[in-house]
Structure 1
Amino acid sequence: TDEEASAHVGVTIEDGDLCPRFTARWFAEVANGSSPDWMQRRLVAAGMRPISAVVDVTNYVMHELGQPMHAYDADTVPDGQIVVRRARTGETLETIDHERRTLDEGMLVIADGSRAIGLAGIMGGAETEVTPATTRVILESAVFHGPTIRNTARRLGLRSEASLIAEITGASVARGIVDNDPEPQPRRVVRGDVARTERLLGIPVEVGHMGELLRPLEFEVREVDPAGTWEVAVPPHRLDVVEAVDVAEEFARAHGYPLIPGRLPRAALPPYRPDPSEPRHRVRRIMAGLGLDEVVTHALLSPDDLRRSGYDPTEPGIVRVANPLSEAHVLLRPVLYPSLLAALAENVRQRRLDPWIFEVGKTYHYVPGARQMPLGAETAGKGRFEVWHLGIALLGPATPAAVGSPPRDADVAQLKGLVEALHAALGAPLPGYRPEEPEERHPHLHPGRAARMVDSSGRAYGSLGEVDPRIAAEWGLTGNPVVSAINLPQLLALVPGTMRAAPVPAAQPVDRDLAVVLDQATPVGELLRLVRANAGPMLADARLFDEYRGPQLGAGRVSYAVALRFQPSAAADEKAIEKALNRVRGALVHHLGAEIR
């Protein structure tokens, strides 16, 4: 017919990113009977059920050329106006399988002026379905992009398909194509290399051979450098070829899939990757070797568990379970202490009054809008973080009472000994200690019998101390339980990457004593930290061995005596030892206002 298709069909695209190309043709005087037997046989062989001439042609073209198409009964589309838009939330559509579906804004639909008439690239609507009574047809062929439509179809010329419909159905075809993007587009250039193409296809590849096979498909191939890099200019209608793997697929099709021999892959094995959990297992082995029993507790707590441990369960940084299975499993634990105290309490209920336990477990935190993760944290996304911790809890004596050997209940000194033994076994430097500041105090610890563990730079990575008697009473614990928690990633970061073995020194160790007078509010841990940080590599040990308070020193002053052992590499290192002592004295005077005696 001499009529223009644009006189019967209009197309409006509201979201060009999701539909870069939409074409349509219009047919009149359609006799939508049965398709020819040869076409029906081909469709059945492809696993499809023949329906009618128009529908069978669209399905045949889809299987033959890889281009999805859809036909609409033109009489059911008011004024032939088609709108490609996002679905509206709550909008419904009865598809051709006669299922009514509820749509949302994540879906792209084909619509008329008032309603959705098809899911773009997926399925048409029942109200515009082609039937045996259909006499006028709108044929759509489009390229779609979007979250629900992936690997979009290639664009094809539609003249042969239109003539096929006309031939089979006896329809008259309106002249021209309604096309939202009729102008030719610049060629897209895709770059790749021969080595990767050969790995993908499993056959030898030459750039010249690629050009011979792809040139009939309107691809332009050139070699960029002798190393095997190639560039391909993609024809404008091939919107599906965007990466090097797409070009490799086209080359394989042109080469012929049956000509590609089957073989087992010869991929290089990846290099050895150490087990990321091995450092945590090492900590477990060390703690078990120190005589402690490992416990594995639940990561989910009840609000009462936190409250009994001195923590506020309504804190905004606590991760809450949306659908808890029980009241005892409502919160993800932000600290290990409630789990450790609950384990001690269970042992006491079972009449085991001397539990020395440890746990390696995660704590969970919610920090919305955080630009930087907490130290040692692993992100779980959306401001949620997980941190591995080592928790230690001691109650009662390490060994039972015996004749002539009264039991000694666990105390902070024994807890410090276990913590320092762990550091020594790992090869990490011994921690320093400082009292907790009021704003960082752990509510479950005794205010005067708790400390923070710090590294040589003064950064805290753990805590230890005696449990507050009120908290212990809340859990039904007798005696004076002591607990500790250490940030494992921070502790393991202190472990040197390589352990070096040193020969037995030829020189004898050199012992020196250092006496200093300090303000009595100065923590001993800070004194020892500064000594170790400034004494240099020859320092083998530093320990406090005496403390004196008296009127000679003045009110609020205390004298500490520290025993230092240096291990020189040669007997003539006395001057180096004296220089190390001078550095220590200078640091104590500068940082602590110490008086050297």
Structure 2
Amino acid sequence: MLVPIKWMSQYVDINTDDKTLADKLTLTGSHVDAVIDYNKEVINVKTGKILEIKQHPNADKLVVTQIDINEAEPVQIITGAKNISEGDIVPVSLEGAVLPNGLKIKKTNFRGLPSYGMMVSYEELGFEDKLIPKESRDGIIILPKDTPLGKDIKEVLELNGSALEVEVTFNRPDCLNIVGMARETAATLGTKFKFPEISVKNEQGDIKDYLNAVEIEDEDLCSRFYAKVIKDIKIGPSPLWMQRTLMDAGMRPISNIVDVTNYVMLELGQPLHAYDLEALEGRKLVARRAKKDEKIVTIDQTERILKENMLVIADAEKPACIAGVMGGFNSEISDDTKVMVLESANFNPKSIRETSKKLGMRSEASARNEKPMGHMMVELASLRACQLIEMIGAGTVVGGYLEAGKNDYDAPIVTLRPYRSEMLLGVDIPVEDMLKSLNTLEIESTFDGEKIISKIPYFRTDIEQEADLIEEVGRLYGFENIESKPLTGSTRVGRKSEIRLLEDDMKTIACGMGLYEITTYSFISPKTYDNICAPADSPLRNYVKILNPLGEDFSSMRTTLIPNMMEVIQRNSNRGVDDAKLFEIGSIFIPKSQPVTEEPYEKQKLCIGMYGNYDFYDLKGIVEGILSRFGIKSSIKAVKDNSTFHPGRTAGLFINDELVGIYGEASHQTIENYGLDHKVYIAEIDVEKILENKNTEWKYEALPKYPSMVRDIAVIVKDEVLAGEMEEEIKNVNPHLIESVKLFDVYKGEHIEEGYKSTAFSVTYRNKERTLKDKEVENIHNKILQVLNKKFEATLR
């Protein structure tokens, strides 16, 4: 926001230079980004009155003018300007003049006639195009008729001074105006603040003869609505002082009525809006929600389609304004307007912000209305605008007003404990100084012997608790005056949780085995459960449904990582990647109940996916390799009832007889659902169960002193007998002397009865304390055969 210092000086005594003021305001919390110098290098440019305009005898597009600059003889100037008339007072750059762009004016000959200077436009005086008044764009500056002749244009247009470019934070809308910044400046410099004196001296008539009613239908979106009527409107340019004030503040003058509303908005922070009374059906204004797909043509002549949650100001039939954002084209002030209604209202900030964003319409008014300003400024701003309209002769204020909503203010009480201030600020500030600081900010405060009791003024909507008052005290005391001290108190070293550390280790191990990590979204489409062939009553379909999804494909929280893994495999396969080994460690979400009323259970899972030149045993080796790194011994059992997996090539993973995962080949239907023509191997393991059973307290043993003995045994068993179960039974025959059991052959075919298979194991025996004898090994070997025969009806091959 631009704060012209000359304007602000009308409300506060400034006893320092601009740079020091900027630094002090920054130190007290009003961040000043820059000090902008408005002084323009203009030499020998004076005001003059056009006495005569004649056509140039030798040029169709030029005219010859005689200009009185309050000297002995008029000055002859030749120009091509189209917006000048005899009697106009204009700025004239005389021979020897220098303009801000460096141009030096000399006597010039135009088609045989001399010109002793040049009439000047705003552009030539260094003004930005966006700030130039409508009537002076692409033309000469036309000055007021009562402007003295021969005056230096720097004095007439006040081409001097400076402005502060201030960054106002969202919580301080009271500073988003000149008066608010003047209040801050007074508190910062310790000088006196003067609020503008507001009075309307010559009201005529009764507003009820012009306006029938103002109403609020939706008080949650509009808390106060205040209306005044002005008659005998005379549309024209605003006075030069007002135009220049607005230009210095970064706004372009439009017309006297519009300029007044903009002036008051910048001065007090309260946006206003003016309506042509004759354009209002039923001569009433209503603050209400828009109807579904209701339309309005805004002042930029664009048709807008409104949503039902948007607030409009409507007459008896249709919207006349998008509340707090932009006015309607049909009810705007025009050159023919004779009677107008001046609206001043307080709106719901959230509603204005959402409406402005959805419609793509942002303005100085919406930027203020979308912040919490309170409703007490509504009446003051309206009366100030009436005062200015009366002052500049733009209209006559009609007596009385109409209003709806809140019109009183019950000041909140906030208390401050002095000892608490010392704890938070780290410095002991006397209570007297605290009271002085708060009262300087117009926060009426007293001390009752134990605490400071403060009444919060209507314009400080940001102060709600004790810490807010302490901040006010601290910033006026000066944070730069508070000695820097090291932090005190106990500190803790931050560290990852055990499960996060486990995940890191698992990722390192998996990457070391040649797997690539993937990361996928936690929300998936419910249709993916069909793709992995989950039955209708599968627990996997008990998912958390997202109420506001990005789309159908992201409408549920996943209960398994397998669909995401299959989609990644599908994508890579379709793009020509012939083989891949992938893994993901991520969360699944299990609702505690349906419908979901509380936070669901979140579990961590490890998912491994492989395709290409790999088989079941590659996946088995990876799973066992990961578990062995955490000191976990596992067992497997065949799984035939999981429709996601192949019924004969899938194993359940058990730790201490507890199912912790599943791995195997994806079923033909699952592979077909993803459009794949090759085998896919998938594993999904509960990471939390790995953490529970993790045992990395490694024990080391000396290399064995005594030799081992190896015996092979081949038995014939039925096809359904699992080799893994046979291995476990062999080990249990004598765990002390049987060092290892390895399956090395499975044979079906000639000499083997159909429905049976030959399974061969290599058994390693060792005694750690002495050399084994053949007789001992033979006895154990025979016992193994007996156990296999008893358990599995195995016969020696």
Residue 185 of structure 1 and its aligned partner are, at CA, apart by 3.6
Inter-CA distance 245–303: structure 2 relative to 1 (3 Å threshold): closer
Residue 121 of structure 1 and its aligned partner are, at CA, apart by 1.2
CA distance in 1, matches of 2:464, 2:589: 41
Residue 211 of structure 1 and its aligned partner are, at CA, apart by 3.6
Counterparts of 1:266-415 in structure 2 under 5 Å? 272=494, 274=496, 280-290=503-513, 292-294=514-516, 334-337=563-566, 339=568, 357-360=581-584, 370-371=596-597, 376=602, 389-393=606-610, 411=616, 415=619
Inter-CA distance 471–104: structure 2 relative to 1 (3 Å threshold): closer
Residue 447 of structure 1 and its aligned partner are, at CA, apart by 2.0
Counterparts of 1:397-546 in structure 2 under 5 Å? 411=616, 415-426=619-630, 429-431=632-634, 433=636, 436=639, 438=641, 441-443=642-644, 445-453=645-653, 458=658, 460-468=659-667, 476-477=677-678, 483-487=681-685, 489-490=687-688, 493-494=691-692
Residue 94 of structure 1 is aligned with which of 293, 297, 300?
A: 297
2:462 maps to what in 1?
241
Moved more, 184-193 or 44-53: 184-193
CA distance in 2, matches of 1:469, 1:181: 70
Amino acid at match of 1:143: N
Residue 36 of structure 1 and its aligned partner are, at CA, apart by 1.5
Inter-CA distance 30–272: structure 2 relative to 1 (3 Å threshold): same
| Contact 2:609 2:683 (8 Å CA) reproduced | yes
2:207 maps to what in 1?
5
| Contact 1:90 1:103 (8 Å CA) reproduced | yes
CA distance in 1, matches of 2:471, 2:281: 41
Counterparts of 1:554-573 in structure 2 under 5 Å? none
Inter-CA distance 357–81: structure 2 relative to 1 (3 Å threshold): same
If the length of structure 1 is used for normalisation, what is the TM-score? Answer: 0.60
* CA-to-aligned-CA distance 1:513-549 (integer Å, 9 cap, x gap): xxxxxxxx999999999xxxxxxxxx99x99979xxx
Residue 289 of structure 1 and its aligned partner are, at CA, apart by 3.3
Secondary structure in 1 aligned to 2:461? coil
Inter-CA distance 78–485: structure 2 relative to 1 (3 Å threshold): same
Secondary structure in 2 aligned to 1:128? coil
Amino acid at match of 2:411: R
2:272 maps to what in 1?
69
* CA-to-aligned-CA distance 1:453-474 (integer Å, 9 cap, x gap): 356694x542113455787899
| Contact 2:246 2:253 (8 Å CA) reproduced | yes
Inter-CA distance 489–248: structure 2 relative to 1 (3 Å threshold): farther
1:44 maps to what in 2?
247
Amino acid at match of 1:286: I
Secondary structure in 2 aligned to 1:148? helix
CA RMSD of aligned residues (A): 5.8
| Structure 2 residue 345 is matched with structure 1 residue 147 | no
CA distance in 2, matches of 1:100, 1:489: 57
| Contact 1:25 1:176 (8 Å CA) reproduced | yes
Residue 173 of structure 1 and its aligned partner are, at CA, apart by 2.4
Residue 106 of structure 1 and its aligned partner are, at CA, apart by 2.9
Secondary structure in 2 aligned to 1:420? helix
Inter-CA distance 67–470: structure 2 relative to 1 (3 Å threshold): closer
Residue 45 of structure 1 and its aligned partner are, at CA, apart by 0.8
CA distance in 2, matches of 1:254, 1:241: 15
Residue 115 of structure 1 is aligned with which of 318, 322, 325?
A: 318
Secondary structure in 2 aligned to 1:147? helix
CA distance in 1, matches of 2:384, 2:571: 78
Residue 217 of structure 2 is aligned with which of 5, 10, 14?
A: 14
CA distance in 1, matches of 2:422, 2:327: 41
| Contact 1:52 1:132 (8 Å CA) reproduced | no
1:558 maps to what in 2?
none
Counterparts of 1:199-210 in structure 2 under 5 Å? 208-210=432-434
CA distance in 1, matches of 2:626, 2:385: 77
2:288 maps to what in 1?
85
Inter-CA distance 461–109: structure 2 relative to 1 (3 Å threshold): farther
| Contact 1:293 1:357 (8 Å CA) reproduced | yes
Residue 395 of structure 2 is aligned with which of 164, 171, 175?
A: 171
Secondary structure in 1 aligned to 2:623? helix
Secondary structure in 2 aligned to 1:38? helix
Inter-CA distance 281–238: structure 2 relative to 1 (3 Å threshold): same
Amino acid at match of 2:265: M
Residue 190 of structure 1 and its aligned partner are, at CA, apart by 4.9
CA distance in 2, matches of 1:371, 1:93: 42
* CA-to-aligned-CA distance 1:234-280 (integer Å, 9 cap, x gap): 23x43733545995699499959xx88699x9998997565998754
* CA-to-aligned-CA distance 1:117-143 (integer Å, 9 cap, x gap): 111111211212122332222111111
Inter-CA distance 143–336: structure 2 relative to 1 (3 Å threshold): same
| Contact 2:532 2:563 (8 Å CA) reproduced | no
* CA-to-aligned-CA distance 1:470-496 (integer Å, 9 cap, x gap): 87899555xxx7834224653565476
Secondary structure in 2 aligned to 1:336? helix
CA distance in 2, matches of 1:164, 1:128: 22
Amino acid at match of 1:172: T
Inter-CA distance 306–167: structure 2 relative to 1 (3 Å threshold): closer
Percent of residue pairs identical: 26
Moved more, 167-176 or 361-370: 361-370
Amino acid at match of 1:390: C
Return 5+ residue gaps in structure 1 as ranges: 325-331, 378-386, 398-409, 507-520, 530-538, 547-597
| Contact 1:50 1:56 (8 Å CA) reproduced | yes
2:172 maps to what in 1?
none
Residue 432 of structure 1 and its aligned partner are, at CA, apart by 5.8
| Contact 2:517 2:582 (8 Å CA) reproduced | yes
Moved more, 94-103 or 169-178: 169-178
Residue 435 of structure 1 and its aligned partner are, at CA, apart by 5.4
CA distance in 2, matches of 1:166, 1:545: 106
CA distance in 2, matches of 1:91, 1:74: 22
Moved more, 481-490 or 138-147: 481-490
Which one has the largest radius of gyration? 2
Residue 90 of structure 1 and its aligned partner are, at CA, apart by 1.7
CA distance in 2, matches of 1:202, 1:58: 46
| Contact 2:235 2:335 (8 Å CA) reproduced | yes
Amino acid at match of 2:688: Q
CA distance in 2, matches of 1:252, 1:134: 50
Residue 205 of structure 1 and its aligned partner are, at CA, apart by 7.2
1:188 maps to what in 2?
412
State how many pairs are aligned: 473
| Contact 1:30 1:170 (8 Å CA) reproduced | yes
If the length of structure 2 is used for normalisation, what is the TM-score? Answer: 0.47
| Contact 1:85 1:108 (8 Å CA) reproduced | yes
Inter-CA distance 209–58: structure 2 relative to 1 (3 Å threshold): farther
Inter-CA distance 107–24: structure 2 relative to 1 (3 Å threshold): same
Inter-CA distance 393–502: structure 2 relative to 1 (3 Å threshold): closer
Secondary structure in 1 aligned to 2:330? helix
